[in-house]
Structure 1
Amino acid sequence: MDKVSSEVYFGSLTKAAKELAAADKRGGPLPARFDFSVKEVCAACKQNIESPKKILRCSACKAVIYCSLDCARRDWSTPSMPNSPTHKTLCPDNKRHMEKLPQTQAILKYFPWGRIESDGSFSFDIARGRFGVLGASGYGYWSHRGGPVPHQDVGAIAAMGDSPYTRELFKLIKRFDHLDGKDLLAKKHLSDEEGWRLPPNLIPYRNFSSSAKRPKLVTEYGPILDWDSWYRWRNLPKESPAALLMNFPMSVYQMLVHALEVTSPTAGTLDKRVPLHVHMLGVEVELNYLPLYSEVALLLPHHDIKLVLFGSGVTKLLKEAKQSPGCLASKSPVFTYKALPACGAGSISIFLHSGSPTWSEHGGPAASALTAHGSIPDALVACNAGLGSYPEWFPVIQTAHVRHIPFATTEYAEQSAEHQARNMPLVLRGSHAVARQESEYKIELNPFQRPGQRPIPMYRLPNAVNGFTLVVCKKNNQEGAEKRGVEAAMDNLSLETLD
């Protein structure tokens, strides 16, 4: 899709969103044209369900959509794709996962802009259109490729096989291409106003022009446990759509503090600062709003955070940066921030790793990843990782277990997170790492998920951006003490090899 037709597309959605907001304000029933549900697709045959066919759902789990009884019966005992489980196998888990749907819907209902479509989904595009911030480029922190697929890497879609549905996905990906981090090709970071493009009362500022805009020192305010407590701490009205972007930095905070417990807001003091070295893997869309990670420094007083970013989006951006000498992306660090003393004086420095898009301890240019920008990291994190979809994650999982590096990810769905936890013994086979009990790979609903169900045409399972946290490896203090000498020897060996 060229620029003109892209602008027409986004413009038409923005117009529809504004008309919807006006209709909501007037009250009364809404016309059918304001239903932004997705077109249903049969989970078995992968065909669009066209009228006059009825849309059928499994009566047991209520999670899977079919176009006919024949497809439902076939899917019950025959996998829809090679090596995938049958519906008979998944149905009991589906039913259990569907019990969390009211919780995910409640997160969206907290916000006045949190509209649930007739199919249970939430339109991210329509929500942005309400605020006039819908577009691929030139929309500050909201700049984002359109279409239904958030990743540059389309390997998981290709694995689904050839069907009308997947062919349409590939068409949309090509039409809505966008360089993540395009604003980093400039020579100056966007200001809060330029980045958010919202009315001042809806912006979670990082640079405070007055004490009235400044949040209280978080250790004096109390724990930040969900969107409600974060909005109150930030003095933001629920009308602010900030959660639609802040779910990424807040999910990193959730993984570090609550899932992995590598630190806490009270860990540092005025006299004893806490260094925290974190590697963030699989980075793509996050490049569009790096300044928002200032929030982690505000939430962790007296911490000095080093955040190193890895991913295909990073290497793609750095390749483009070679054509723009002196741009932000060519600098190291690419972004720095230090909170005011009244806010705890936490700091964060963000680096882009140029060696390789993947993180690995061994081999080729990726060998430097383990000790990138200093020492072995205190933690690894990844947002919407899809651990079971990409083989590049296997060496990361293995290294984290062997070296006892705390590692957590967010996943869209609880089902996929559980599948990945069950497959840990297979991933770790032959790696000199021992898989833990499945229950130790803790999975929890992420209170800082992006509000709203992702529009999935074939399923109704709870599925949200940064929807669930998965603990891949949590540091065991006793194990660490027992194996400290062994790890020290391994570190020396690795560093010698790298040198």
Structure 2
Amino acid sequence: MQDIKPPKKIFRCATCKAVIYCSAECANRAWSISVGNQPTHKTLCGDNKRHMERLPQTQGITKSFPWGRLESDGTFSFDIARGRFGVLGSSGYGYWSHRGGPSPHSEAAAVNMDSSPYASQYQKLVQSFEYRDGKELIGKKHLSDEEGWKLPSKYIPYRNFSSAATLPKLVTEFEYGVVDWDTWYRWRNLPKESPAALLMNYPMSVYRMLVNCLELTSPNAGQPDKRVGLHIHLLGAEVELNFLPLFSELALLLPYHDIKLVLFGSAVAKLVRVAMKTSRSLATKSPVFIYTAPPDCGSGTVSIYFNSVSDGNWSATDNVRPDALVACNAGLASYHEWFPVIQEAHMKRIPFAVTEYAEQSAEHQRNMIPIILSREFLSPRPMQEYKIQLNPFQRPGQRPIPMYRLPNIVNGFTLIVYKNKTAKAKVKDLELDKVIGEVGKALRTMILNKMD
């Protein structure tokens, strides 16, 4: 076999600066020749250049943290960051425990390599990382804040507060509003030295999708005598199973809300099947996890449930229609399982938002939505309504992908798949009710004072 030597010089597209090639010949070939169903670089170059304009923003988020080291290629090593805090590993590392390997998803089959001569070797490699997402839920007790985070106390965003020093303000009284990592850290009384954002990006991205993308509710919508109930389905859950208690953050961010969060996905179904063999396992309980925020923080509640029916695949035939669907790092057009979900969300007018790794991917998913809908003779909504935004609660740090420099980040971008136009009006009505209620109380006090 002929030895394969590394190139003496790599080539980077001079126009978009987004793609790396091993040689000039490879770059010229990619410019005009399509491989499989992939568009040529000539087709993508202009969009790549536009997407690269996001790079200062995404790198700025990473560099805002003292631990946010950028490598020479602009990437960020999640594992090195974990190693610096002593939380690198699979089992036994609390919320940081996770499956390793080259694939971001638990299913080896998720990577479309069926036609590749290396497919069998790749699947063996993926399967060699045996850690099961949600392994801690086979036990009988949720981890405490200290057991889960395994960090110095000053770096932990507590959910169970032992002192007033760790208790955040009622979020509606926080003057800046929680709109990005900087304001979240201030509200949470955490120093930016804390690596909490490396895990909290999942619950904070769900919050972002519900409040800012779908405008389903807001921190001001609830009040003590008029609580807001939300029934949310989180689809395709995998790594989220490793830190379920972190979703208690939703109860702190949304005072006077009662949130039912139902998780769907093949990883959920497999976890439940394993848990059924163990008596009194957390994963077999209903709800799996429940949390109530302190009264000073608004007494919000979050209850988390597992749905393992039909191997975790979602269907709107559930007895209770959800208020919204959300998914993290979805890859809508990459997996056929998403197609019926997109169709049902439109047919039954269920608000639906996802995060995607890259803006380029999100635009590809958006372009596919009308095609997916037309298969069922549905009337597609105008494409401009499928809004894509940079997610300020993305996980800090560029993912290391050797050939590309495009911003590619865990929970990097949000995409609105379907938005119910009445949702915003409903939120405004709730907020108005609250204002009217406060004004009414003030008027009543003033009248009583006059009578005295």
TM-score using structure 2 length: 0.90
1:344-393 CA-partner distances (Å, limit 9, x unpaired) = 000000000020234443xxxxxxx542xx51000000000000110000
Displacement of 1:148 after TM fit? 3.0
| Distance in 2, Cα, partners of 1:227 & 1:175 | 35
1:269-310 CA-partner distances (Å, limit 9, x unpaired) = 001000000000000000000000000110000000000000
Flag structure 1 segments of 5+ consecutive residues without an equivalent: 1-47, 362-368, 482-499
Q: Is 1:181 aligned to residue 134 of structure 2?
A: yes
Q: Is 1:209 aligned to residue 154 of structure 2?
A: no
Cα 1:84–1:204, aligned 2, differ >3 Å: closer, same or farther? same
| Distance in 2, Cα, partners of 1:419 & 1:137 | 36
Residue 415 of structure 1 corresponds to which residue in structure 2? 360
Residue 387 of structure 2 corresponds to which residue in structure 1? 442
Q: Is 1:61 aligned to residue 16 of structure 2?
A: yes
Residue 76 of structure 1 corresponds to which residue in structure 2? 31
| Distance in 2, Cα, partners of 1:49 & 1:233 | 54
Letter in 1 for 2:73: D
Q: Is 1:385 aligned to residue 340 of structure 2?
A: no
The answer as to whether partners of 1:359 and 1:370 remain within 8 angstroms in 2 is no
SS at match of 2:165: helix
1:447-469 CA-partner distances (Å, limit 9, x unpaired) = 00000000111111000000000
Match 1:318 to one of 272, 275, 279 = 272
Residue 125 of structure 1 corresponds to which residue in structure 2? 79
Displacement of 1:84 after TM fit? 1.4
| Distance in 1, Cα, partners of 2:84 & 2:4 | 30
Displacement of 1:53 after TM fit? 2.4
| Distance in 1, Cα, partners of 2:414 & 2:101 | 25
| Distance in 2, Cα, partners of 1:412 & 1:74 | 27
| Distance in 2, Cα, partners of 1:460 & 1:161 | 26
The answer as to whether partners of 1:310 and 1:356 remain within 8 angstroms in 2 is no
SS at match of 2:148: helix
| Distance in 1, Cα, partners of 2:418 & 2:146 | 39
The answer as to whether partners of 1:449 and 1:468 remain within 8 angstroms in 2 is yes
| Distance in 2, Cα, partners of 1:326 & 1:148 | 34
1:46-84 CA-partner distances (Å, limit 9, x unpaired) = xx995352111111111111111111111111123x111
The answer as to whether partners of 2:232 and 2:324 remain within 8 angstroms in 1 is yes
The answer as to whether partners of 1:150 and 1:285 remain within 8 angstroms in 2 is no
Q: Is 1:463 aligned to residue 403 of structure 2?
A: no
The answer as to whether partners of 1:306 and 1:349 remain within 8 angstroms in 2 is yes
Greater mean deviation of Cα atoms: 426-435 or 302-311: 426-435
Residue 280 of structure 1 corresponds to which residue in structure 2? 234
Match 1:268 to one of 217, 222, 227 = 222
Greater mean deviation of Cα atoms: 423-432 or 216-225: 423-432
Letter in 1 for 2:230: L
Identical positions, percent: 66
| Distance in 1, Cα, partners of 2:391 & 2:285 | 33
Residue 283 of structure 2 corresponds to which residue in structure 1? 329
Flag structure 2 segments of 5+ consecutive residues without an equivalent: 427-452
Residue 304 of structure 1 corresponds to which residue in structure 2? 258
Cα 1:445–1:240, aligned 2, differ >3 Å: closer, same or farther? same
The answer as to whether partners of 1:402 and 1:432 remain within 8 angstroms in 2 is no
Cα 1:243–1:160, aligned 2, differ >3 Å: closer, same or farther? farther
| Distance in 2, Cα, partners of 1:210 & 1:428 | 52
Q: Is 1:101 aligned to residue 101 of structure 2?
A: no
1:114-140 CA-partner distances (Å, limit 9, x unpaired) = 010111111001100001101111100
Cα 1:328–1:358, aligned 2, differ >3 Å: closer, same or farther? closer
| Distance in 2, Cα, partners of 1:200 & 1:240 | 10
Greater mean deviation of Cα atoms: 285-294 or 428-437: 428-437
| Distance in 1, Cα, partners of 2:163 & 2:113 | 52
SS at match of 1:162: coil
Match 2:148 to one of 187, 192, 195 = 195
Letter in 2 for 1:400: A
The answer as to whether partners of 2:10 and 2:20 remain within 8 angstroms in 1 is yes
The answer as to whether partners of 1:336 and 1:349 remain within 8 angstroms in 2 is yes
| Distance in 2, Cα, partners of 1:110 & 1:177 | 34
TM-score using structure 1 length: 0.82
Q: Is 1:251 aligned to residue 196 of structure 2?
A: no
Cα 1:464–1:49, aligned 2, differ >3 Å: closer, same or farther? farther
| Distance in 2, Cα, partners of 1:446 & 1:440 | 17
The answer as to whether partners of 2:16 and 2:52 remain within 8 angstroms in 1 is yes
* Mapping 1:26-45, distance limit 5 Å: none
Displacement of 1:429 after TM fit? 1.1
Residue 219 of structure 1 corresponds to which residue in structure 2? 172
Letter in 1 for 2:155: L
SS at match of 2:111: helix
The answer as to whether partners of 2:7 and 2:22 remain within 8 angstroms in 1 is no
SS at match of 1:173: helix
| Distance in 2, Cα, partners of 1:60 & 1:169 | 34
Letter in 1 for 2:164: S
| Distance in 2, Cα, partners of 1:229 & 1:163 | 49
Displacement of 1:160 after TM fit? 7.8
Cα 1:323–1:358, aligned 2, differ >3 Å: closer, same or farther? closer
RMSD between superposed Cα atoms in Å: 2.0
Residue 51 of structure 1 corresponds to which residue in structure 2? 6
| Distance in 2, Cα, partners of 1:102 & 1:385 | 24
Letter in 2 for 1:59: A
SS at match of 1:356: helix
SS at match of 1:158: coil
Residue 112 of structure 1 corresponds to which residue in structure 2? 66
| Distance in 2, Cα, partners of 1:410 & 1:125 | 22
Cα 1:50–1:379, aligned 2, differ >3 Å: closer, same or farther? farther
| Distance in 1, Cα, partners of 2:295 & 2:39 | 54
Letter in 2 for 1:445: L
